[in-house]
Amino acid sequence: MARSKGGNAATLKRYWGQGRGAARIRWGSPGDYTRCTKQLHKYLGARAKGYCARLHRERTGVWPGDRRNAGRPR
């Protein structure tokens, strides 16, 4: 049986970046990075922070902690 390129990584990225997981995280709203790390820590452990940072950048256009981040206190 042939596997699609990317395997489970592409499926997970789609789920947490655009699918039902993204709806739970609510990208672009205050606390989105924190919600992501809490949800994904169960599956990725300490790697969740880096994974969520990359997803945050892809979904919002800025890194977590950037002064342009919508969720950051002014």
Provide DSSP, 50-64. HHHHHHHHHHHSS-T
Contact indicator for 55, 45 with CB cutoff of 8 Å: no
> What would the mean pLDDT of 22-47 be, rounded to a whole number?
94
pLDDT at residue 41 greater than cutoff 60: yes
Domain boundaries along the sequence of the chain: 26-74
Q: Is the pTM of this model over 0.95?
A: no
Per DSSP, helices labelled H in the chain are 7-17, 20-25, 32-44, 48-60
pLDDT at 3 exceeding the cut of 60? no
